[in-house]
Amino acid sequence: MSRLERIRRRALLEAWYQGNWPDLYRYVYHHVQNREEAEDLAQEAFSRTLAHHADGELPTRQYLYATAMNLIRDRWRRRRRSGVALPLEEALLGQKPDDEAMQVWIRELLDQLPQEYRVVLELRIIQGYSRTETAQRLDKSESAVRSLQYRALQLLRAKLSQGEVDGR
Amino acid sequence: MKKEDELDRNLEALRLERAPQPAADQESAELLALALAVRRLRSADSVPVPAAPALRAVSGRRRYWLAAGTALVAAAVVFLLVIAVRPVDVVHAAQERLTALTTYHTVGHFQGFSIDPQNGEKRHHEWRMEIWYDRGKYRIQIDEDLLIFDGDTEWHVLTEQRRVTQIPGLPQGRMQMSTVDDLVKWFTEYPHVVEGEERFNGRPAFRVAVQLRSDVTQYVWLDKRSFLPVGGRSVNKEGEETSWTEQMEVNVPIDPVLFTYQPPEGFTVDVLGRR
């Protein structure tokens, strides 16, 4: 390798990094739903991918995304060790490699919920309204929203478990 | 705490993108996981993507790449600092000058040193860089290789490898060379001192020392009459020269053809940034 080879290749590497950053960030954000965490994990995924790649070769997207996914799983495992048990989280991710299918399935189950359950989850979780805002929109008390969202998620969980038993 | 309250608190953490509290039991953990799955139904496109941060150094090889990259970017910064620094009433004078900056052309030489991770030996690297800049467009030639930004697309050309990387829609100024604001910011953020007067390439000039980083001092020579930069030199903490300027021209006409590029026949073209 010539003495300038690394300098030249760095330019290509930088282009690869800049070009892949937005999609990888969105991918990680989709899983963790936290901007700070997504940036941190995406950056770490790039670093690890590049650290384990031969000089002059651009890593594949598959390798990059697999590295990111492993980092996400590692983080969940660390949380579990620190007391935050998320078994369903790993189940949702690990046993359903086709994430798009999982999305469709969750959407289908959501649509099967009674309307007020569906609406409260839509407002509170998907659209991201606060409890107070959600209560105003539903014309209910905050206490009622608290109870409603809890029962809605319980029912969704039951439907999800039933679907797994049914072999979905 | 009631389970409803615990869930509500964690939904709020999820909404505000904060870490949830440890779940008290299995059910609470599963409900939170399910809430996260529901939240993923949102379109990822609605999430603003932050600018890519600088890559982290994690290994010897990575550090090597980054050292080279830092040198490359520093080369551009150095030139801009050269333009920015003024010996008297510095900020005001620099702002006036930078407002008038539209084009420049410079030729510089750079050298760097790295430690071979395999055997610990010190390696020497040297390269020539020529930059043409015109209102956001740029052409950078590093020995035989090229980086060209035509205002819409950036091209990276590895001549020896006969490879071209095309990055469509690259935001203008990724090389941080396009905006006056950036230049003023750099100028105001780096400490500098006028060290005296001396001749540079036969011309009377002011010598200014800019502390680019804690381990790099950038010397700049400014023409004594016009205050235009005429040269630069950077030195690392070991006293080794890491860059020097061969030629520098500001606000000169630049042939627009230099900012266009057509891959030659036989070159491999990779298009990045598209799924």
Cβ contacts of B29 on chain A, cutoff 8 Å: 84-89
- Is A65 inside a domain boundary? yes
| Single pTM value for the model | 0.48
- Flag whether residue B43 sits within 8 Å of chain A, measured between CB atoms: no
Cβ contacts of B36 on chain A, cutoff 8 Å: 33, 89
- pLDDT category at A141 given cuts 50, 70, 90 is very high
| Helical pair B3-15 and A142-165, crossing angle rounded to 10 deg | 90
pLDDT for res B57: 41
Q: What is the mean pLDDT of chain B?
A: 71
- Flag whether residue B68 sits within 8 Å of chain A, measured between CB atoms: yes
The pair of structure tokens assigned to B235 is 């030195």
Q: Does A101 lie in the same domain as A151?
A: yes
pLDDT for res B175: 41
Cβ contacts of A55 on chain B, cutoff 8 Å: 61
Q: Find the CATH number of the domain harbouring A160.
A: 1.10.10.10
Q: Quick one: average pLDDT of A20-40?
A: 86
Separation between Cα atoms, residue B170 and residue B147, nearest integer Å: 13
* Tokens 């298009």, located at residue: B271
Q: Does A115 lie in the same domain as A48?
A: no
Burial pattern A59-86, b for ≥16 Cβ within 10 A else e, equals beeeebbebbbebbeebbeebbeeebbb
With an 8 Å Cβ cutoff, are A23 and B275 in contact? yes
- pLDDT category at A144 given cuts 50, 70, 90 is very high
pLDDT for res B256: 93
Separation between Cα atoms, residue A141 and residue A38, nearest integer Å: 34
Burial status of residue B262 (CB atoms within 10 A of its CB: 0-12, 13-18, 19 or more): exposed
- pLDDT tens column, A106-140: 889 999 999 999 999 999 999 889 999 999 999 99
Separation between Cα atoms, residue B11 and residue A131, nearest integer Å: 9
pLDDT for res B274: 46
The pair of structure tokens assigned to B104 is 């420049």
Name, of A72-86, B89-103, B159-173, B244-258, the range with top average pLDDT.
B244-258
* Last residue in a domain, options A48, A81, A114: A81
* C-alpha dist (Å) from residue A65 to A24, A44, A60, A140: 7, 11, 9, 43
* Last residue in a domain, options A81, A113, A145: A81
What is the extent of the structural domain holding A28?
A: 5-81
Give B64's contacts (C-beta < 8 A, 6+ positions apart). Answer: A6, B114, B117
* Last residue in a domain, options A16, A50, A81: A81
Query: How many angstroms separate the CA of residue B228 from the nearest CA in chain A?
Result: 30
| Extents of the domains making up chain B | 60-187+248-269
Task: Count up the domains in chain A and report the number.
Answer: 2
pLDDT for res A53: 67
With an 8 Å Cβ cutoff, are A11 and B142 in contact? yes
Q: Does A111 lie in the same domain as A77?
A: no
Give the CA radius of gyration of chain A: 21
Contact B114, B89 (CB under 8 A): no
Q: For chain B, how long is the longest CA-to-CA vector?
A: 82
Q: Has residue B176 got a pLDDT over 50?
A: no
- Is A91 inside a domain boundary? no
Mutation target among B8, B267, B275 for the A interface, most CBs of A within 10 A: B8
Name, of A60-64, A161-165, B54-58, the range with top average pLDDT.
A60-64
Strand (E) or helix (H) holding B113? strand B103-115
| Helical pair A142-165 and A99-111, crossing angle rounded to 10 deg | 120
- Is A109 inside a domain boundary? yes
- pLDDT tens column, A80-109: 655 554 545 555 544 444 466 777 888 899
Separation between Cα atoms, residue B154 and residue B138, nearest integer Å: 9
- pLDDT category at B170 given cuts 50, 70, 90 is low
Nearest to A51 among B62, B69, B126 (CB): B62
Q: Find the CATH number of the domain harbouring A17.
A: 1.10.1740
Nearest to B125 among A7, A35, A106 (CB): A7
Q: Which CATH architecture has domain B60-187+248-269?
A: Clam (2.50)
Helices (H), chain A: 5-32, 35-51, 61-81, 87-94, 99-111, 115-121, 131-138, 142-165
Q: Does A59 lie in the same domain as A28?
A: yes
- Is A128 inside a domain boundary? yes
The pair of structure tokens assigned to B187 is 């100028």
Percent of chain B with pLDDT over 70: 62
Q: Which residue has the higher pLDDT, B26 or B54?
A: B26
Nearest to B72 among A7, A46, A130 (CB): A7
- pLDDT tens column, B122-142: 667 777 888 888 887 888 888
